[in-house]
Amino acid sequence: MKIAVLPGDGIGPEVTAEAVAVLESLALPGLVLFSGDVGGAAYHRHGHPLPEETLAMAREADAVLFGAVGDPSCDTLERHLRPEQAILGLRKHLGLFANLRPARVFAGLEHLSPLRAGIAGGLDMLIVRELTGDVYFGAKGQRTTDSGEREGWDAMSYAESEVRRIAHVAFRAAQSAGLPLTSVDKANVLETSQLWRDVVVEVSAEYPEVALDHMYVDNAAMQVVSHPDRFGVVLTGNLFGDILSDLASAAVGSIGLLPSSSLGERQTAYGTFGLYEPIHGSAPDIAGQGKANPMATILSAAMMLRHSFGMEAEAARVEAAVARALADGILGGDLGGAHGTAAIGAAVRERL
């Protein structure tokens, strides 16, 4: 079971180290870990945010554990050399079109949410975000208009095959969990969204038992914080999913708690190949200080055990240990607590 560990920038190395320690303490036979450079760290060492060797290592592995990328010292580089291109390139090259971002308020931890307790308790949703299309991967550029003004542009598009395959992922998730599905778009303004909606309706014919509704993204943002209990599975495109998943995680209490998995079609000997990462970024302001909360990355490792290695029991054990640590008041600075990265990691391992 080969895992490529790509710590990346900022707090990435600190939080992935704790997730690796959790994996190691499970003493799973046959587990082999490799690590590679990615993001700004890779740019500084190899001149590219996603070096060939790193991509090759990821392809060779059965799963990738990813930290974070983003480095302010790279902000003025040409776009193709910026750290963010590493994660976008991995998603694209590895065909990881399905991004699963579960967001839920842990029972008993409603007080960590900025939402009122009566509202927060209802937050338990799975965001299924399309990850390799949309305005993220369309043509883009800057140009000078006829009137001599600078103009930036990014093309948004979705092919029906792209919508169909992510819709199937969301419908299957809704079906197996017995949850309703909400497809989020902006069909009142965007043609891309109109096609998205039409294709989702077509796919829904194959899942008659899943209750489907459609919501405009602005309304969805409002509902996530006012009536989160109305969501089960949320299906959306790349850009809207990026925004809604940060919103949902902040509503849980902290972006430091939420894991994600990015899956494609490739099957390995153990399960589905995937990339697992916290949904938070590199947080350069607290990097290297031992303050970052590693729970999102530890929970991402749990998702890896479940989806890429078929180890449901071990995944549940890790998740339970995190929940117990939270319930015992092991809180990082992101949650108003004083526990540092290493202390949180140790507390989770003690509770495994």
Catalytic residues: 136, 186, 218, 242, 246
CB of 108 to ligand IPM, least distance (A): 28
Distance of alpha carbon 308 from alpha carbon 302, whole angstroms: 10
CB of 282 to ligand IPM, least distance (A): 8
3-state SS, one letter per residue, for 215-283: EEHHHHHHHHHHCHHHCCEEEECHHHHHHHHHHHHHHHCCCCCCEEEEEEEEECCCCEEEEEEECCCCC
6 or 323: CB nearest ligand IPM: 6
Contact 274, 63 (CB under 8 A): yes
Q: Which of residues 254-273 bind ligand IPM (CB under 6 A)?
A: none
Map residue 129 onto helix, strand or coil. strand
Q: Which of residues 239-278 bind Mg ion (CB under 5 A)?
A: 242
Residue 185 found at the interface with Mg ion (CB under 5 A): no
| 295 contact choice in Mg ion, ligand IPM, none (CB below 5 to 8 Å, kind-dependent) | none
Residue 87 found at the interface with ligand IPM (CB under 6 A): yes
Residue 250 found at the interface with ligand IPM (CB under 6 A): no
65 CA to centre of own chain:
12
Distance of alpha carbon 214 from alpha carbon 184, whole angstroms: 6
Tokens coding 290: 């031992």
CB of 175 to ligand IPM, least distance (A): 26
Map residue 332 onto helix, strand or coil. strand
Map residue 130 onto helix, strand or coil. strand
244 or 321: CB nearest ligand IPM: 244
87 or 123: CB nearest ligand IPM: 87
Residue 162 found at the interface with ligand IPM (CB under 6 A): no
Give the residue nearest to ligand IPM (CB). Answer: 84
Distance of alpha carbon 81 from alpha carbon 117, whole angstroms: 44
Strand partners, 96: none
113 or 132: CB nearest ligand IPM: 132
83 or 232: CB nearest ligand IPM: 83
CB of 211 to ligand IPM, least distance (A): 28
Give how many residues touch Mg ion by CB under 5 A: 1
Per-residue binder mask for ligand IPM (CB under 6 A), 164-183, x = binder: --------------------
Contact 130, 238 (CB under 8 A): yes
User: DSSP E strands: which ranges in the chain?
Assistant: 2-8, 32-35, 63-68, 98-104, 124-130, 140-144, 150-154, 181-185, 212-216, 233-236, 259-267, 272-278
| 314 contact choice in Mg ion, ligand IPM, none (CB below 5 to 8 Å, kind-dependent) | none
Give how many residues touch ligand IPM by CB under 6 A: 5
Residue 243 found at the interface with ligand IPM (CB under 6 A): no
Per-residue burial over 282-297, b if 16 or more Cβ lie within 10 Å, else e, is: bbbebbeeebbbbbbb
| 87 contact choice in ligand IPM, Mg ion, none (CB below 5 to 8 Å, kind-dependent) | ligand IPM
87 or 287: CB nearest ligand IPM: 87
- Half-sphere CA count of 311, side-chain side, radius 13 A: 20
Residue ranges binding Mg ion (CB under 5 A): 242
Residue ranges binding ligand IPM (CB under 6 A): 84, 87-88, 242, 279
